[in-house]
Chains A and B, each alone.
Chain A
Amino acid sequence: EVQLVESGGGLVQPGRSMKLSCAASGFTFNNYDMAWVCQAPKKGLEWVATISYDGSSTYYRDSVKGRFTISRDNAKSTLYLQMDSLRSEDTATYYCARHSPELYGEGVMDAWGQGASVTVSS
């Protein structure tokens, strides 16, 4: 069974940092691109960042470029999101999601974690 389990969320002050982790199991992690998607309270979904299967390529939405860093450790089957210079508007639930371009085509997210809540407030 495919499982994605996020951790590391919580309350953080504006301007500070937080690192999210996503532990993957039930599939060969290093065969898949991975992504982070966020959802502000009572709002819709927003793609944040994607990393290629081997970590060689990363992509970000403009609002997080230079502040967020997506990375992965294939030996540990774990995805990360380092979030620096956090703003109140970054408050959201952050989901990790799996991509499989070869099976589904570009940009399809076929498995999702349960999410980690991040609240940016003083």
Chain B
Amino acid sequence: DTVLTQSPALAVSPGERVTISCRASESVSTLMHWYQQKPGQQPKLLIYLASNLESGVPARFSGSGSGTDFTLTIDPVEADDTATYYCQQSWNDPWTFGGGTKLELK
């Protein structure tokens, strides 16, 4: 299975820029997607196909990357962005998710 590796946690101050990384154990082309999950809620799609912003998602969120290295950027970070962020690949079977990056605000 394709393993997606994310940093477990990050802490930033409101107004700062944060980059969340996701590294794949093998190429996933650009079939990488990002989800936000707030405590007690279901996941929400933010970015699809590496860099496409889902409708209704603030332009503060952006994605980039291809192959094995991907990033989700939030600029500027707001208090409401406190959540766990998951990457997910759909290039290789089975589809897999990263372990999640918990974003905390200082």
Contacts and interface: CB of A to CB of B under 8 A. Distances in A.
Interface of A: 37, 44-47, 59, 61-62, 95, 104-115
Interface stretch (B12-20, B64-72, B73-81, B97-105): B97-105
B49 A44 contact: no
A44 B86 contact: yes
A112 B94 contact: no
B95 A95 contact: no
A37, A61, A107 — which one has the most chain B CB atoms within 10 A of its CB? A107
Contacts, number: 62
Contacts of A62: 94
A86 B93 CA distance: 23
Contacts of B95: 47, 107
Interface of B: 31, 33, 35, 37, 41-45, 48-49, 52, 54, 86, 88-91, 93-100
Contacts of A107: 31, 33, 88-91, 95
A112 to B, nearest CB: 4
Contacts of B31: 105-107
Given A106-B90, A113-B42, A47 B97 contact: yes
Contact of B48 (A61, A105, A112, A113): A105
B97 A46 contact: yes
Nearest to B28: A107
Given A106-B31, A110-B45, A114-B42, A44 B100 contact: yes
Nearest to B55: A110
Given A106-B90, A107-B90, A44 B98 contact: yes
Contacts of A104: 48-49, 52
Nearest to A108: B48
Nearest to A103: B48
Contacts of B88: 45, 47, 107, 109
Contacts of B94: 47, 61-62
Contacts of A95: 42-43
